[in-house]
Amino acid sequence: MTTIMVYKFATLSREEIEAMLGLKLEETRVYREAKQEGRGEGRQEGREEGRKRRDRLFSDN
């Protein structure tokens, strides 16, 4: 039910949703999954950026 409520109120801030539902979203599965996905995407972007920088450094020499 919490997952449904979070998506239903997509325009509200996390704090507003927490106040309405009387819970901490950090304790929910949907929050943990979204956070994990974000970390994975961030790592992938970091790897790609690192490869680009490495390629620029070695192609300039």
Dump pLDDT digits (tens) for 20-55.
889 898 888 988 999 999 999 999 999 999 999 999
2 vs 50, residue with greater confidence: 50
Per domain, the residue ranges of the chain are 37-61
- How much is the pLDDT for 31? 86
From the CB of residue 31, how many other CB atoms can be counted at a distance below 10 Å? 16
- pTM of the predicted protein model: 0.57
Label residue 40 exposed, middle or buried (CB < 10 Å: 0-12, 13-18, 19+).
exposed
Q: Which pLDDT score is estimated for 6? A: 67
**Tokens for 5?**
């409520």
Give the pLDDT band (50/70/90) at residue 59.
confident
* 61 vs 28 pLDDT, higher one: 28
What is the greatest pairwise CA distance in the chain?
A: 59
